[in-house]
Each structure stands twice: as C-alpha cells, then as structure tokens.
C-alpha cells in the first residue's frame, strides 16, 4: 500500500482558486461535487500518468475527459506543436494544416463530406442544431435523457453527468420558450421516440444522440436502436445527428457510425481530433454543409477556428492512431473491464461494465444499464468510497458515477496490472 498522500500544495492552490472561480474550477465536473472532497491540482502528465502539485502520481483514466488517446505529453504531439508554433500561433487566414486535418477526418469518416472547425464541442453541437433547423425549416429538437451535447441553451434539458451530478435537471437562465422546443426521450426506447414523432413529427428538425452514451456513465445502444432512429428520422424528414464529440476516434477509427453501421446526416466531433488542444468540428452531407456561410445563409464563425497549433496537434494524433494502434488500445480496455469484473465478483459487489473501443464504464448494479434511469439506480455511495480509495492508491477515475472512462496508447500491460491491483485493494476498502 502506498503511503498516505499529502495534499498541502493542492489545498493551498484550491483555496486561491475558490476565490477566483465559481467552485474553484473552470468546468463543474472538475469540482468533485459528485464524489465529495476537494479536487487535487495537477502539475504535469506523461504517458498514462499525471502528478499533482504535491508530486503524488496517478494512473489517469480521465485523460482530459477523452482527448488524449495517445496519453499525456505524447512526443509526436509535442514535436508537431513545436514545429507549428515556430511559424506563428494564429492568423485568422486559411492555412494548410486545416486542410490536412479535415482530409484525415474525412478519410476515416467518409460521410463527413464537408466540415467546419470550431473550438469546442459546445460550439459544434449548437452550430449543427442551427443548421438542422435551417435545412428542415423546423424548430423542435429531440434528445435523449442523460445525453450531454455541451452547454448550449437548447441542450440543457435532461443533460446528463455534469448537471445530473449537481442535481440540476434543467438550467435556470434557459428561457422556457426555448426549452419547450427540446423534446426528450429515454435512451434505447424506440417506442418513446415513435410516440414523440407520431405527435410532433412534422415539427422535429433533428434527432441528436450520443450514439454510445458517455455522459451518463457508458451506455451502449441496443442493436436495433440506432437503425430505428435512422429510419424514423427518414420517415419524418428529420435529420439524424450523431454527437461523436466523445465517441469519435474512440469507439472505432471511423467513430460510432462505423462501429454500429449507421450513417447520420450530420456529425459533431471534438476531443480526440484536437489531441488535447481546443478543436471540434461539425460536418456531414455536402448539400447540408453548403448552407453554412459564406456559401449559404446559415451564419457561424470563430476567430480561433482552425487554429494552427490545434490543427497540428490533431494531425499528429489522428496520424498516429492507426487501426492497429486503436485495436491494441481497445484490447487493453477489454482487459481492464474483464479484470474489474473479476475483482467485483470476488468482493461480492453488484457490478456491470461495458466498453467499446477505448471508452468504458461501470456501475455498481447487478443488471446491465440501458438508460439513464437504470444508471441512477446504481450504488452511488459505494462509487464515492471506491473513487476516493482508488485515488488514495494512485488511480484517477472520473469523479462522478455518471462518466465514461478512457484508455490511451500509453496504458501498457504494466499499467493495467498495477491499476487492477490497486482497484482490488480500493474495492476491498470501499465495500466495508
Ligand atoms: N458532446 C459530447 C458528447 C460531449 O461529451 C461533450 C463534452 O464532454 C460536448 C458535446 C461538449 O464539448 P465541450 O466540452 O468541448 O464544449
């Protein structure tokens, strides 16, 4: 067992941070409000590991909430950044790196015929929604309970992990008139979607979905769910939008569309395509994307969109992420999940876990989880104790029972073995 960790430097920095930022953080899920206690302050990362301000080491399964598929400070990304940086950090003029990254994305996701780079997943989904509304001439949006699509007003309705962890079903400040345009259905519930379309079909612009949910913990779609969404959207003239900000280049090189064999009209991307820098994108069929300004009338713009440093990090990341590398990360993800199942069984703890590619999740509940309502019945108190026991032993899991976990190319067999040993001890401690 590792010596008890000192948190003195972290505590001092968090005290200053709390005076500067709401809750001391610049994004709510970082605050540990889902697990209790104070977050540590990170100082550096390398490969599968991070170190906090007190020099405690952790094997990291959050990976900046998904982007770092090559691990922290991946040499190939740092080299690309140095090279790009020497030529200037921002121009606001078309640059060759944008073209190179877009071509890499389209090679792997051919249904993204044209795209637009933005700087956050929130921007990508907001812009895709505007486009869907413009293209269909309709106002309503259908989303799923527990799916998070960024903090755009229209999406802050039953929006999953961050808001759920804080117990905020909907956010104040979103006008009722706008929230009324957002319909919600349970995930994996085709009958509920059909009912909503029977009632409002002619007014629904788009179905937005995380094709595999990562923001209510990890929840895989039933085999028939995504094909049903495709045919319901087609039957009613609505667009199907896959929010692949999290699943893109994670569940498969071609994203969830390739993994589950269903092609959306529009796709939103983020996280991995920026390799740890602020990049996101929305894209899809050419005739839809040509409605965006300046070819079309749908306005959307960004001072730092296509930023050369961010593009360079994305190119280095996607360039390195070959099918063979992706498969080896996926294989280690499966090994981790398998190991966790054994540990939970040995400790006699109700447990269900799943993964797709390099994304995974688990719940302290005996039956599989198919919806956010299922997820909410898991033992959150046990998760809190387990999270802290894991942290104490040098494993950093997402600080919420309702978040997916991520694996990177830097997590080798040794890291998986060390993780399982530490989590075994952590569960033994937490279940008491
Ligand atoms: N969509 C999904 C599926 C996400 O997981 C997230 C963020 O976690 C977003 C959109 C929003 O992205 P960002 O935090 O970059 O605004």
Residues 349 and 311 in one domain: no
What is the number of domains present in the chain? Answer: 2
Amino acid 82: pLDDT: 98
Residues 57 and 101 in one domain: no
Residues 304 and 210 in one domain: yes
Say whether 379 is catalytic: no
Annotated active-site residue in 143, 145, 271, 282: 271
Dist. CA 120–CA 171, nearest whole Å: 20
pLDDT digits 0-9 by tens, 218-258? 999 999 999 999 999 999 999 999 999 999 999 999 999 99
Residues 55 and 85 in one domain: no
Atom of ligand 1 nearest to the CA of 215: 5
β-bridge partners, 208: 241
Residues 6+ apart with CB under 8 A from 180: none
CA of residue 229 to ligand 1 center, whole Å: 21
pLDDT digits 0-9 by tens, 396-421? 999 999 999 999 999 999 999 999 99
Residues 88 and 165 in one domain: yes
Q: Place 163 in a pLDDT band, splitting at 50, 70 and 90.
A: low
Per-residue DSSP letter, 410: T
Q: Of the candidates 399, 387, 395, which has an alpha carbon nearest to the alpha carbon of residue 421?
A: 395
The CATH number covering residue 358 comes to 3.90.1150.10
Answer yes or no: is 97 within a domain.
yes
Answer yes or no: is 3 within a domain.
no
Question: What letters, b where the CB count within 10 A reaches 16 and e where it falls short, cover 156-185?
Answer: bbbbbbbbbbeeeeeeeebeeeeeebbbbb
CA of residue 150 to ligand 1 center, whole Å: 5
* pLDDT surpassing 70 at residue 166: no
pLDDT digits 0-9 by tens, 262-276? 999 999 999 999 999
Task: For ligand 1, say whether the CB of 150 is within 6 Å of any of its atoms.
Answer: yes
Residues 358 and 222 in one domain: no
Say whether 271 is catalytic: yes
Residues 310 and 382 in one domain: no
Residues 389 and 284 in one domain: no
Residues 286 and 397 in one domain: no
Pull the structure tokens for residue 26: 């610049």
E strand segments, 187-279 = 204-209, 239-243, 266-269
Answer yes or no: is 178 within a domain.
yes
Answer yes or no: is 332 within a domain.
yes
Domain span at 372 = 8-73+323-430
* pLDDT surpassing 70 at residue 200: yes
Residue 260: its H or E element = helix 255-260
Residues 363 and 222 in one domain: no
Amino acid 174: pLDDT: 87
Looking at 320, 350, 368, the residue that finishes a domain is 320
CA of residue 134 to ligand 1 center, whole Å: 22
Looking at 286, 320, 354, the residue that finishes a domain is 320
3-state SS of 339-407 is: HHHHHHHHHCCCCEEEEECCEEEEECCCCCCCCHHHHHCCCHHHHHHHHHHHHHCCEECCCCCCCCEEC
Residue whose Cα lies nearest atom 1 of ligand 1: it is 149
Residues 54 and 190 in one domain: no
Question: What Cα–Cα distance (Å) separates residue 32 from each residue in 221, 226, 424?
Answer: 28, 33, 22
Atom of ligand 1 nearest to the CA of 271: 15
Answer yes or no: is 1 within a domain.
no
Task: For ligand 1, say whether the CB of 125 is within 6 Å of any of its atoms.
Answer: yes
Answer yes or no: is 51 within a domain.
yes
The CATH number covering residue 259 comes to 3.40.640.10
Residues 310 and 346 in one domain: no
> To the nearest whole number, what is the mean pLDDT of the chain?
95
Looking at 320, 338, 358, the residue that finishes a domain is 320
Answer yes or no: is 209 within a domain.
yes
Say whether 143 is catalytic: no
Q: Is 288 helix (H, G, I), strand (E, B) or coil?
A: helix
Answer yes or no: is 409 within a domain.
yes
β-bridge partners, 363: 352
């Amino acid at each position: 067992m590792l010596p008890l960790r000192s948190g003195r430097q972290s505590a001092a920095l968090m005290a200053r941070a709390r005076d500067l930022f709401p809750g001391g953080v610049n994004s709510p899920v970082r605050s540990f409000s889902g697990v209790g206690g104070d977050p540590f302050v990170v100082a550096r990362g390398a490969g599968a590991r991070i170190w906090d301000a007190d020099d405690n080491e952790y094997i990291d399964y959050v990976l900046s909430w998904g982007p770092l598929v090559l691990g922290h400070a991946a040499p190939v990304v740092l080299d690309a950044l140095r090279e790009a940086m020497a030529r200037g950090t921002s121009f606001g003029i078309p640059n060759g790196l944008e073209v190179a990254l877009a071509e890499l994305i389209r090679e792997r996701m051919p249904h993204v015929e044209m795209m637009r780079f933005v700087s956050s997943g929130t921007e990508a989904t907001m812009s895709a929604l505007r486009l869907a509304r413009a293209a269909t001439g309709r106002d309503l949006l259908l989303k799923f309970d527990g799916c998070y699509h960024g903090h755009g007003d229209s999406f802050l309705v039953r929006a999953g992990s961050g808001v759920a962890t804080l117990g905020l079903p909907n956010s104040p400040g979103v006008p009722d008139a706008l929230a009324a345009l957002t319909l919600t259905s349970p995930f994996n519930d085709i009958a509920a979607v059909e009912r909503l379309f029977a009632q409002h079909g002619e007014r629904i612009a788009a179905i937005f979905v995380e094709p595999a949910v990562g923001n209510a913990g990890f929840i895989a779609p039933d085999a028939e769910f995504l094909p049903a969404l495709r045919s319901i959207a087609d039957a009613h003239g609505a667009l199907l939008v896959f929010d692949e900000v999290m699943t893109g280049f994670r569940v498969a090189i071609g994203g969830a569309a390739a993994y589950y064999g269903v092609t959306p009209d529009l796709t939103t991307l983020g996280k991995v395509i920026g390799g740890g820098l602020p990049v996101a994108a929305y894209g899809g069929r050419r005739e839809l994307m040509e409605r965006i300004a300046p070819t079309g009338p749908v306005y959307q713009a960004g001072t730092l969109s296509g930023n050369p440093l961010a593009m360079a990090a994305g190119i280095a990341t996607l360039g390195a992420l070959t099918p063979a590398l992706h498969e080896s990360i996926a294989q280690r993800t499966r090994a981790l999940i398998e190991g966790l199942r054994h540990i939970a069984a040995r400790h006699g703890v109700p447990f269900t876990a799943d993964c797709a590619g390099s994304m995974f999740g688990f719940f302290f509940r005996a039956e599989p989880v198919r919806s956010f309502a299922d997820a909410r019945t898991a033992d959150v108190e046990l998760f809190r104790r387990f999270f802290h026991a894991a942290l104490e032993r040098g494993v950093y899991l997402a600080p919420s029972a309702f978040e997916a976990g991520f694996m990177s190319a830097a997590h080798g067999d040794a890291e998986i073995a060390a993780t399982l040993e530490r989590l075994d001890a952590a569960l033994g401690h937490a279940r008491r």
